[in-house]
């Protein structure tokens, strides 16, 4: 088999890159370790930044997004029992975010890829990268019992944090940074209409809580918990009781209860692999970086990376220029670190630090008061939340 760009991973990064390339007439094949059903059922991100929404529209993937996506003009923040609103359009010259589940984006992009050329190979096992330092790399894998070799001009490693691409770079060449937080999120998906139409981020003595949604019928909620949390200790009644406590702000808001469809625990980490390129291998999305979800940036960063990578690959295939490929890492990292900073900032602002010093806890309250109480503070949050421009 032969293609121009071998893309590893059918997450948002890989799928979006394939569509961007197709628009410019560049061929790609996606290799995905999991089955299509599995990929479509993964519940993850929910918030699309303004630039991500524009990018999806620009490639023709905005039709259902436009119909079913829920535009949000702001978020509420609660601390010490008081609710304050951040008004995005007023603070950013008219920008907003859209709540639309990551699995819906993935579904739309898989449909598009199938419509155009069908080159997504699900259940590709034992994917291995070869000759990435040469001009003719390849990827080998096993599928339906058959050994296959895919020759290509470039490999896009879009295979997430646990993928095979990053470890294919010689260890001595990897520049990596990591921060692990002493807490995690217990997430639930509930069959209950969202009790208000904007997100609520809450700092509470018992820990952080987040009210979000997936549709007019489904609410998504998160509670700060211990990274080693045992889900058996969280029967539904305890989950609801804790949500009511942490999201209370004296204005009559109360989460609607409903059947809990799913419960999961997400660890919190910040991670950057600055080596986003090695030879003909380019990393994009979670393969190169992880942000704690408090800033709602992960999926959006993946979109930013592949936009920059697409422009560079297209410039190479159309004009033979390597200038943008050579600049990929630096261009992408600028936005990556900006999103890391904001995700770290939101995480630090809104969580209860288990071993925090009393002084730091007071500074945190002063920060919450400043960033939600002054126009300059709110503007900083709004500008980052709706998304900085792609590189
Ligand atoms: P993905 O989505 O992990 O996709 C990688 C794909 O690669 C496949 N793969 C392989 N394929 C072939 N061979 C191998 N050896 C392979 N190894 C792996 C995997 O099966 C998979 O299909 O990475 P991608 O495309 O970079 O996308 C990143 C996003 O998924 C991630 O950043 C977001 O989900 C993060 N995130 C959020 N991001 C936001 O922008 N807004 C949010 O509101 C938001 N909320 C969240 C989140 C992530 C969460 N979790 C569960 C980590 C909330 C949560 C709870
Ligand atoms: C979500 O809806 O899953 C969500 C929303 C905002 C975040 C993280 C996750 O910051």
Judged by its nearest atom, the ligand closest to the C-alpha of residue 45 is 1
| C-alpha separations of 344 from 217, 270, 349, 373 in Å | 31, 7, 8, 20
The pair of structure tokens assigned to 128 is: 């291995």
d(CA 347, ligand 1 centre) in Å = 19
Whether 167 sits among the annotated catalytic residues: the reply is no
The pair of structure tokens assigned to 144 is: 């339906």
d(CA 18, ligand 1 centre) in Å = 16
Angle, CA 324 vertex, CA 172 and CA 290 arms, to 5°: 50
Is the CB of residue 293 below 6 angstroms from any atom belonging to ligand 2? yes
What is the residue-level pLDDT of the chain in tens, covering all 391 positions?
999 999 999 999 999 999 999 999 999 999 999 999 999 998 888 899 999 999 999 999 999 999 999 999 999 999 999 999 999 999 999 999 999 999 999 999 998 877 766 689 999 999 999 999 999 999 999 999 999 999 999 999 999 999 999 999 999 999 999 999 999 999 999 999 999 999 999 999 999 999 999 999 999 999 999 999 999 999 999 999 999 999 999 999 999 999 999 999 999 999 999 999 999 999 999 999 999 999 999 999 999 999 999 999 999 999 999 999 999 999 999 999 999 999 999 999 999 999 889 999 999 999 999 999 999 999 999 999 999 988 6
Best residue for ligand 1 mutational test, from 30, 45, 139 (most atoms within 8 Å of Cβ)? 45
Q: What is the pLDDT of residue 39?
A: 95
Nearest CA to ligand 2 atom 4: 46
Q: Which of 201, 203, 222, 328 is catalytic?
A: 201
Whether 194 sits among the annotated catalytic residues: the reply is no
- Tally helices (H) and strands (E) across the chain: 11, 20
Nearest CA to ligand 1 atom 32: 298
Whether 293 sits among the annotated catalytic residues: the reply is yes
Nearest CA to ligand 2 atom 7: 296
Whether 385 sits among the annotated catalytic residues: the reply is yes
Quick: pLDDT tens for 85-120.
999 999 999 999 999 999 999 999 998 877 766 689
45 CA: nearest ligand 2 atom: 3
Quick: pLDDT tens for 162-188.
999 999 999 999 999 999 999 999 999
């Amino acid at each position: 088999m032969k293609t121009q760009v071998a893309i590893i991973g059918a997450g948002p990064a890989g799928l979006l890159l394939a569509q961007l390339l197709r628009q410019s007439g560049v061929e790609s094949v996606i290799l995905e370790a999991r089955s299509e059903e599995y990929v479509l059922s993964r519940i993850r991100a929910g918030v699309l930044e303004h630039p991500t929404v524009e990018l999806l529209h620009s490639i023709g993937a905005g039709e259902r997004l436009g119909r079913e996506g829920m535009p949000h003009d702001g978020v509420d923040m609660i601390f010490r029992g008081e609710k304050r609103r951040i008004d995005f359009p007023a603070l950013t010259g008219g920008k907003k975010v859209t709540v639309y589940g990551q699995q819906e984006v993935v579904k739309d992009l898989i449909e598009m890829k199938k419509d155009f050329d069908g080159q997504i190979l699900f259940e590709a096992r034992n994917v291995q990268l070869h000759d990435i330092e040469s001009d003719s790399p390849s990827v080998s894998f096993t599928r339906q019992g058959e050994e296959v070799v895919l020759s290509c001009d470039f490999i896009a490693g879009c295979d997430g944090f646990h993928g095979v691409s990053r470890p294919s770079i010689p260890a001595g060449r990897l520049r990596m940074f990591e921060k692990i937080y002493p807490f995690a999120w217990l997430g639930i998906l509930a069959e209950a209409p969202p009790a208000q139409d904007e997100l609520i981020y809450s700092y509470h003595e018992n820990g952080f809580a987040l009210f979000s949604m997936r549709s007019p019928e489904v609410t998504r909620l998160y509670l700060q918990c211990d990274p080693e949390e045992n889900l058996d200790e969280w029967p539904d009644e305890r989950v609801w009781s804790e949500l009511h406590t942490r999201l209370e702000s004296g204005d009559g808001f109360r989460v609607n209860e409903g059947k809990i469809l799913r419960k999961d625990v997400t660890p919190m980490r910040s991670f950057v692999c600055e080596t986003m390129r090695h030879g003909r291998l380019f990393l994009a999305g979670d393969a190169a970086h992880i942000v704690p979800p408090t800033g709602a940036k992960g999926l959006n960063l993946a979109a930013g990376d592949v936009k920059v990578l697409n422009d560079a690959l297209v410039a190479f295939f159309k004009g033979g220029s390597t200038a943008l490929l050579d600049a990929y890492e630096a261009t992408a990292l600028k936005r990556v670190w900006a999103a890391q900073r904001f995700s770290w900032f939101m995480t630090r602002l809104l969580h209860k630090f288990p071993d925090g010093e009393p002084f730091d806890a007071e500074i945190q309250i002063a920060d919450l008061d400043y960033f939600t109480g002054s126009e300059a503070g709110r503007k900083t949050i709004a500008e980052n939340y709706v998304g900085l421009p792609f590189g």
